[in-house]
Amino acid sequence: MNTENKFKLIFNSLSCNEAFARSVIGVFALQLNPTLSQLTDIKTAVSEAVTNCIVHGYPNSIGEITLEGIINDDTLHINIFDSGVGIENIDKATEPFYTTKGEEERSGMGFTIMKTFMDDIKIESSLNNGTKIYMTKKIN
């Protein structure tokens, strides 16, 4: 039996909403009965993606971030979108330790953490049109 459940949440790019997004995805993922380790991985990946939207997508303004969660059978799909400044070079941005905010003590590990903790990640971005991050995690 193919089961699907989904949600869509839009929130402001305020740092306090990073924890909100993390909590929402954690509660949503519980219906797949993940291990504590899997749940932590999911929440951490979402935290990194949302933080990137806040810090890099909207560096000098408040914008909207969209978080979508979709469950198909035993797989969690997470989509995170912003309409911010975009990423000039995705290959460069996904290199470990690369950051455009070195003066703010950023580690440049956000995309590396997302790739490590999720089964699949895809990034689409264009300058001045925002960034879309698609992540999946299969829960056995």
Active site residue 106: yes
Active site residue 52: yes
- Residue of 106, 124, 128, 140 marked catalytic: 106
CA 5 → CA 22, 33, 69, distances in Å? 18, 14, 8
- Residue of 17, 18, 22, 48 marked catalytic: 48
Checking phi first, is residue 62 left (phi over 0); if not, alpha (psi -120 to 50) or beta? beta
CA atoms within 13 A on the CB side of 108: 14
- Residue of 18, 22, 52, 79 marked catalytic: 52
Annotated active-site positions, please?
48, 52, 106
